[in-house]
Structure 1
Amino acid sequence: MKKPTIICVDDERMILNSLRSQLRRHLGTNFTVETVESGNEALELYQELKEDGYPIPVIISDQIMPGMKGDELLTKLNKLDASIKKILLTGQASVEAVGNAINNASLYRYMAKPWEIEDLNLTVTEAINSYFKENELKKSEKAREELINELKSVNESLEEKVQERTQTLEQKNRDITSSINYAKLIQDSILPSEQKIKTALPNSFVLYQPKDIVSGDFYWINHNKEMDKVYFSVADSTGHGVPGAFMSIIGSSLFNEAVKTDEFIKPNEIFNYVKEGIIKVLNQRQTAQKDGIDAALVSYDKTKQTIYFSGAFNPLYIIRDTNQPLVTLEGEIIDPDMELEGKKLYSIKGDKQPLAHHADSTDEFTVHKLQANEGDELFLFSDGFVDQFGGSMNKKYMRKRFKQLLLSVFGKPNEQQESTLLEAFNEWKGSFEQVDDICVMGVRL
């Protein structure tokens, strides 16, 4: 007999890899474990395996997937082969979906994510044993009658089990939400306090609006009072929600480590340190893990009125309303990007590489050295604002419109600048969903 095959269906590659690794360790070489990312792929794989004569004792499917849902897939497979043991493994299935799988797909077991390894191993083992036992029993009429009676008994108790599982799932969801809310308290504690911001940068504001409870965006400030220098940054971690929050905590910690010195350290040196730290923490040189951070970082010398800037994809905007041009410390004149009623906006671009391992990255980040004027306004931001869909045509806000908005609030009180930006964002977004975390920092020198 050809080697039996277990089919795992989920639209998340990380989940499939985890299932395949766990089942291979548990089942050894006696079984083949195949993974697919959609219901249609699962049906195609089933047909191929059946045509080649491979037994399929168990299929494990997620519920919420693009296109065909898990209960629909299991129902279709049940019509093709009722002997396959069907397990619904999901963290988002409704009672209706589970009931549909029970009633129309002869669901063997419903399990909630995240699963317990021993529980899943035991369930799969029992399902495999049941599958082969049933096939043996079907060889005789008496065995078929015993199987029918057993299935009736199982069906009578499944509704009660579903209710128990649903209650457990609901409790787990409440626990998860509670944990995320607690994670928000932890994340908020690592962000600079309003008092710290106002002490270091009295004329400033931060517009901070996570998409979910916790955020992948974060802002960071370090004030070296002895040298009268202030470092400040807005950073955008890969993703949002819990994954983004983890990256933000790693990034903030590495920023703090980078400036633990009595000497002046330039923004590009901080970026180089943080980049190498992320690569090491996530083991990116040995794995395909590509998470990272985009950021804009400024060092402001209050005494000399100089600005040092480095960007990881993200730019720095500087607005001034004098005829005095923006020049580098080397004397190079920088042309404005946009003008409005005598006010000029300058865009200082960052390097096209993140704080992470990147195929196109260079070895070092660039540092831009600029002469500042009193009254200059600096704006650092993540891409959440400019990438927001909305307006009458449901299009992105885009940077040109964002620059015009910043020019329009130049010179106004910081609180009014923040409220105007938030009002403009909400008006643009309207009834559409917020697509990403938002962080905008404005600083008047």
Structure 2
Amino acid sequence: MIYRAFILIILLAGLNFSNAENSSSLKEDSIVNLEADVHKVEALLNLSAELAKEKPERAIYYALEAKQISMKLSFTNGIGLAYKAIAYVHYIHNNFPQAIENYNEAVQFLNKGESDIVLAEIYENVGNLYFQQSVYDLAMKKFMQSIAIYKAHNNIQGMGRLYHLIGDIHMIQENYSNAEENYLHALEMSEQSNDLENIVYVYLSLGNLNELKGKKDIALRYFSEAITVSEEMKSELLLAQSMMKLAHILLKEGKPQEALSYLKRAGVVFNGHEYTEFLAENYLEFGRYYLLKEDLDSAEWCLSQTRSMADSLNILWMLKEYYNELSNYYFLKGSFKESLFAYRNYKLYSDSLYKKDYLKSITQLEMTAEFNRIEKKRMLDEVKRTEIQKYKAHQKNLLITGLAILALALMGFLFYVVRNYRKSQSLGRKLQFQKKEIEQKNLELGKKAEQIRKNAEDLSYLNQELQKLSVVASKTDNAVIIADETGTFLWVNESYCKLFECSKEQLLRSQPGLIEPGTPDEIRKIIEQCREQKTSAYYEQKSFSNKGREIWMQVTITPVLDAGEKIENLIAVCTDISELKKAEKEIVSQRDLLLHQKQEITDSIRYAQRIQTAVIPRLSNIKEFVDDYFVLFKPRDIVSGDFFYTQKKEDLIIVGVADCTGHGVPGAFMSMLGMAFINDIVLRETKLDAASLLDRLRLRVINALQQRGVPGEQKDGMDVSLLCFNYKSGEATWAGANNAAYMLPVDERRFSGDRFEKFVMDEHILLELKPDKMPISIYDKLENFSALEISLEKGDQIYMFSDGYPDQFGGPKGKKFKYQAFRKLICKNSNMSMLDQQEFLDFEIERWMVSPDGKKSYEQIDDITVLGIKF
């Protein structure tokens, strides 16, 4: 019987499937048999759109057929729509070049005016295609063409989408103020058109933007709004995305427990559908959660899931974040070599995020075998853990059963003993009770007599205290209210009448109360809590006098209890804080003004950063003249008081590092002066060496800053380490103004003299090139700078630097890194490539700025610059 039922189910399922296929075929046949006119073109294009996702080849076939018919009919709009349909198929299957080509063909045939909205949609789609390929200038151009059409037709919904996309481009390009302006426009338009989906996306973008700006509280608010709208839409995917973003911020703020519930709810949605990219991001956030909880095994498993999915989808930004968290995982585990390896990959992904061919070669370096070994170990551990849990559960069941049997036996025995004891004691208890009852009656009569006497004394005392209280209440500047237990006024003092500009009789006639119809809910709750708990309460309340004057009061309510602990009266003391509130409002206004001014100043400084970055010469200028090089350049603020310099003049290469007085904006001004002066000196002078260049630079700085050497004068300037070498002959001169240089020569025996100090470290010999102890500025005694003449050989390495690296505070005791540790670091990694040395120096100083337990971090105190050259 069961077998027959099963066969019947199979036959019915097959029949249904066959019917669906037949229905689809019949529809296609009915359209194909139509007369070749405009209606058939429309039907073919609709059929193409239906088949685009599941059967792309047939979708393109029907679109091409629609194009052929349109060409025979000279139906140009139909030709354009056919190209658009073909482009759509390529679009949803990620064939971007073919999609763009067909969209551009469509534009050529569509009629202006009649098909304006279709044109706007095409420009929007092409812009999206360019955006996904990171061609932001072309994406912006297409978005602007699209929004112009939407504006002309007052298409609010389309304008909302486009403002959002334009905002995304500005955010990627770090034009945060423009991004925010466009997002707010998008939000306004989408609210007008009730486009809930775009509202959610805009809230998510605003949250991301404020996270980048460091405003995590505002980001949390926007992500919460996204959750609210997603729930209103009943969109599982948008709700899960919003929850994951909110969890991300909570994890950044070190609140893993608050983030956990959101991550779990999002994970359920992503697991239940084909949302692989979001699921990978969900595993990444779970990895961060477990790292915060120091559950390294769980963190490792989640991160491995992220890696697997991000690799399969080639999601480069996620691979970058994965390597960052993997570095943190190994660091917490104490595997510092593996942590450095992962951190290098993180930096490479950060610096080359869109260079896909290069990144593919990087990912091949990953330790696949190590992950396989870890995964096998995890599975074995899981099996062992399951077996142990089964054994423990079995033992627990045995124990519970034994205890239950023992408890039942014990209860039976106790019941028998208690029943016999109660029978023997029953008669004695009755006699004892009657005796106690007589004694209690006598005692109560005595107490009542004593209570009558005490009440008389208390009444006399209370009358005296009430007289005193009445005098105090009437004389105080504060408004005083005596109310009954419900809050209805019974009495007010003169100060209350004066504050509210009313008479006592007029006030009490209206029977006001502490709770009135317009009383805010939060104040109602405070007063109700005061009455329920019988404790004092405090709140602030805005009110108005009889003449309409605004009054802010600070109110303290105290319940007065009777002998039975019931509320007899409520006493409220009101203090006028109107002036304080005015001052508070002014302070908030000034704060907002200062925040606005700060943002404007920050935007200006960021623009100055772009100028400074453009002015600093590129090290690639010297690439063909040296074997290898690197520069580690970490400004403390947006702009830097450090700068590095490279220039070529005939056969001479000039390279240097300068540390200007101050950092941030003042330091940046000085650095711009320094670069401009050095450029001018190199351009004008025919014969150059390191010492003479520093002499001329000092003279320019003194004249420009009008330094006279008088007491109390500001001695702004710079410390410099400068090398000039002839790349053909290998002859070089070096000079330093307060700043030394380090050299790792192939053969140290070539160098001698008191200006070469030797350090032996890790089987390496490091030479410190001693500078002249005077700056590039006015000084007590101005002498010419002296040059060290050096003959360079292939393999020699030279390092020039500012004092920012060795002077940085950090480590377990919060002390400076120091020059000795800096020298050891250079020697230890001198066999690496220059790029690896740069990354290692960066990694070490970042690690130094975080205490070993991870609970304390130290701010960067100065600009950091280290320049290394291998000849």
TM-score by length of 1: 0.61
| Aligned partner of 1:243 among 652, 656, 666 | 666
1:258 aligns with 2:686: no
Cα drift, residue 335 of structure 1: 5.8
Alignment partner, residue 424 of structure 1: 844
- Residues 53-77 of structure 1: per-residue CA shift (max 9 Å, x gap): xxxxxxxxxxxxxxxxxxxxxxxxx
- Residues 38-93 of structure 1: per-residue CA shift (max 9 Å, x gap): xxxxxxxxxxxxxxxxxxxxxxxxxxxxxxxxxxxxxxxxxxxxxxxxxxxxxxxx
Q: 1:154 to 1:229 in 2, by over 3 A?
A: same
Alignment partner, residue 750 of structure 2: 326
Aligned length: 288
Where does 1:183-222 land on structure 2 (aligned, <5 Å)? 183-199=608-624, 201=626, 203-222=628-647
CA distance in 2, matches of 1:160, 1:342: 68
| Aligned partner of 1:377 among 781, 787, 797 | 797
CA distance in 2, matches of 1:349, 1:333: 8
Instruction: Give the secondary-structure state (helix, strand or coil) at the position aligned to 1:260.
Output: helix
Alignment partner, residue 42 of structure 1: none
1:344 aligns with 2:735: no
Alignment partner, residue 10 of structure 1: none
Alignment partner, residue 28 of structure 1: none
Instruction: Give the secondary-structure state (helix, strand or coil) at the position aligned to 1:410.
Output: coil
Q: 1:271 to 1:384 in 2, by over 3 A?
A: same
Instruction: Give the secondary-structure state (helix, strand or coil) at the position aligned to 2:617.
Output: coil
1:434 aligns with 2:434: no
Indicate if the aligned counterparts of 1:221 and 1:230 stay in contact, CA closer than 8 A: yes
Where does 1:45-444 land on structure 2 (aligned, <5 Å)? 157-199=582-624, 201=626, 203-224=628-649, 226=650, 228-261=651-684, 263-285=686-708, 288-322=713-747, 325-327=749-751, 337-359=758-780, 361-430=781-850, 431-444=857-870
Alignment partner, residue 209 of structure 2: none
Letter in 2 for 1:256: N
Cα drift, residue 273 of structure 1: 1.0
Cα drift, residue 155 of structure 1: 6.5
Q: 1:336 to 1:342 in 2, by over 3 A?
A: farther
Higher helix share: 2
Instruction: Give the secondary-structure state (helix, strand or coil) at the position aligned to 2:840.
Output: helix
Indicate if the aligned counterparts of 1:321 and 1:344 stay in contact, CA closer than 8 A: no
Cα drift, residue 286 of structure 1: 6.4
Instruction: Give the secondary-structure state (helix, strand or coil) at the position aligned to 1:170.
Output: helix
- Residues 353-388 of structure 1: per-residue CA shift (max 9 Å, x gap): 0000012x3321111111221110000000000111
TM-score by length of 2: 0.32
Where does 1:20-35 land on structure 2 (aligned, <5 Å)? none
Q: 1:160 to 1:229 in 2, by over 3 A?
A: same
- Residues 330-355 of structure 1: per-residue CA shift (max 9 Å, x gap): xx697652123542111111111000
Q: 1:321 to 1:336 in 2, by over 3 A?
A: farther
Instruction: Give the secondary-structure state (helix, strand or coil) at the position aligned to 2:859.
Output: coil
Letter in 2 for 1:326: R
Percentage identity across aligned positions? 31
CA distance in 2, matches of 1:157, 1:339: 69
CA distance in 1, matches of 2:589, 2:754: 71
- Residues 184-233 of structure 1: per-residue CA shift (max 9 Å, x gap): 11111111124325345451100000111111110011112x3x221000
Indicate if the aligned counterparts of 1:217 and 1:439 stay in contact, CA closer than 8 A: yes
CA distance in 1, matches of 2:823, 2:606: 34
Q: 1:433 to 1:156 in 2, by over 3 A?
A: closer
Cα drift, residue 263 of structure 1: 2.2
Q: 1:280 to 1:407 in 2, by over 3 A?
A: same
- Over the residues paired in the alignment, what is the CA RMSD in angstroms? 2.3
CA distance in 2, matches of 1:307, 1:202: 16
Instruction: Give the secondary-structure state (helix, strand or coil) at the position aligned to 2:708.
Output: coil
Letter in 1 for 2:796: D
Unaligned runs of 5+ in 2: 1-576, 851-856
Letter in 1 for 2:828: S
Q: 1:162 to 1:439 in 2, by over 3 A?
A: same
Q: 1:177 to 1:197 in 2, by over 3 A?
A: farther
Bigger mean CA deviation after superposition, 423-432 or 340-349 = 340-349
CA distance in 2, matches of 1:291, 1:262: 25
Alignment partner, residue 92 of structure 2: none
Letter in 2 for 1:247: M
- Residues 258-287 of structure 1: per-residue CA shift (max 9 Å, x gap): 111462311111111111111111111166
Q: 1:199 to 1:304 in 2, by over 3 A?
A: closer
Indicate if the aligned counterparts of 1:282 and 1:289 stay in contact, CA closer than 8 A: no
Indicate if the aligned counterparts of 1:317 and 1:348 stay in contact, CA closer than 8 A: yes
Flag the structure with more relative contact order, 1 or 2, with Cα contacts below 8 A and sequence separation at least 6.
1
Indicate if the aligned counterparts of 1:327 and 1:333 stay in contact, CA closer than 8 A: no
Unaligned runs of 5+ in 1: 1-151
Instruction: Give the secondary-structure state (helix, strand or coil) at the position aligned to 1:309.
Output: strand
Instruction: Give the secondary-structure state (helix, strand or coil) at the position aligned to 1:325.
Output: helix
Letter in 1 for 2:839: S
Q: 1:161 to 1:418 in 2, by over 3 A?
A: same
Letter in 1 for 2:724: S
Instruction: Give the secondary-structure state (helix, strand or coil) at the position aligned to 1:373.
Output: coil
CA distance in 1, matches of 2:625, 2:675: 18
Q: 1:154 to 1:210 in 2, by over 3 A?
A: same
Indicate if the aligned counterparts of 2:625 and 2:727 stay in contact, CA closer than 8 A: no
Alignment partner, residue 72 of structure 1: none
Indicate if the aligned counterparts of 1:278 and 1:292 stay in contact, CA closer than 8 A: yes
Indicate if the aligned counterparts of 1:320 and 1:343 stay in contact, CA closer than 8 A: no
Instruction: Give the secondary-structure state (helix, strand or coil) at the position aligned to 1:337.
Output: strand
Instruction: Give the secondary-structure state (helix, strand or coil) at the position aligned to 1:363.
Output: coil
Instruction: Give the secondary-structure state (helix, strand or coil) at the position aligned to 1:418.
Output: helix
CA distance in 2, matches of 1:428, 1:162: 40
CA distance in 2, matches of 1:335, 1:439: 22
CA distance in 2, matches of 1:342, 1:197: 30
Alignment partner, residue 200 of structure 2: none
Indicate if the aligned counterparts of 1:216 and 1:247 stay in contact, CA closer than 8 A: yes
CA distance in 1, matches of 2:755, 2:597: 56
Indicate if the aligned counterparts of 1:218 and 1:234 stay in contact, CA closer than 8 A: yes
